[in-house]
């Protein structure tokens, strides 16, 4: 009887040790994942450009993803300078009228009738990529200048390259005043924006790796950004 109790106690101790070891390993994995996440975030945040992009080439078309201020104005300036044949403004709010867009600048009003197209369907970056791919196919473009905020550019390049693996993408990053004038870590709002974008960027990278559409044909040109 005593031997049976000793065996039962020994077995219980072993189970507790295994559970303790398993909990320790799980905690270690979680800590390591957190460290890698934070290291990756700091690397991502430090890689965001702090100065405006300088282009050394043109493309067939230009696409600007709506969002932060001045993106559309910068894209229109590129169109007016002859950097592309047409401009797609992707993600325009359904209630935003053409007149409201034209009032942004004289150049917008001048070029709107001939060379500017609107996408009102996209509500996120994935939707931007789908709408842009349809537009590129319609006009048979082979190269594209992509205009969006500097912090949004890495994810935008991934999403658009998934939908258009045979189209050369030339990034044109729009840098916000906050990023130009102060370190990103000094402003809590900037830190929050960058961290949320980093999480979305990681998700996009994982999805790209799992999606065979993105394999074997991706052509991202970084030579356009200095």
How do residues 56-78 score in pLDDT, each as one tens digit?
A: 899 999 999 987 768 888 999 99
Least reliable range by pLDDT among 3-12, 82-91, 172-181: 3-12
∠ CA 102-103-108 to the nearest 5 degrees? 40
Return phi, psi of residue 90, to 5°.
-100, 135
203 compared with 32, residue with greater pLDDT: 203
71 compared with 28, residue with greater pLDDT: 71
CATH fold for the domain made of 61-214: Rossmann fold (3.40.50)
Helix spans in the chain (H): 2-47, 71-80, 98-102, 106-115, 125-139, 153-163, 177-181, 188-210
**Which residues does residue 172 pair with via DSSP β-bridges, in sequence order?**
147
How would residue 224 be classed by pLDDT, with cut points 50, 70 and 90? very low
**Whole-number pLDDT of residue 11:** 56
71: left (phi over 0), alpha (psi -120 to 50) or beta: alpha
Residue whose token pair is 């690397």: 43
CA atoms within 13 A of residue 92's CA, in its CB half-sphere: 21
Residue 219: pLDDT over 50? no
């Amino acid at each position: 009887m005593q031997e049976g109790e000793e065996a039962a106690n020994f077995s219980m101790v072993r189970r507790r040790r295994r559970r303790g070891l398993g909990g320790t390993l799980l905690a270690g994995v979680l800590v390591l994942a957190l460290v890698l996440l934070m290291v990756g975030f700091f690397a991502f945040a430090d890689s965001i450009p702090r100065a405006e992009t300088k282009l050394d080439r043109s493309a067939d078309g230009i696409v600007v993803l709506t969002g932060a201020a001045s993106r559309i104005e910068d894209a229109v300036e590129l169109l007016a300078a002859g950097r592309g044949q047409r401009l797609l403004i992707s993600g325009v709010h359904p209630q935003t009228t053409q007149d409201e867009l034209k009032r942004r600048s004289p150049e917008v009003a001048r070029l709107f009738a001939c060379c500017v197209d609107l996408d009102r369907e996209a509500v996120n970056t994935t939707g931007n990529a789908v709408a842009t791919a349809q537009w590129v196919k319609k006009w048979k473009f082979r190269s594209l200048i992509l205009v969006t905020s500097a912090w949004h550019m890495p994810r935008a390049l991934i999403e658009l390259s998934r939908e258009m693996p045979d189209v050369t993408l030339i990034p044109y990053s729009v840098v916000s005043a906050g990023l130009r004038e102060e370190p990103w870590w000094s402003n809590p709002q900037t830190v929050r924006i960058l961290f949320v974008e980093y999480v979305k960027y990681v998700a996009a990278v994982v999805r790209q790796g799992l999606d065979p559409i993105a394999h074997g044909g991706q052509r991202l040109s970084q030579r356009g950004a200095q």
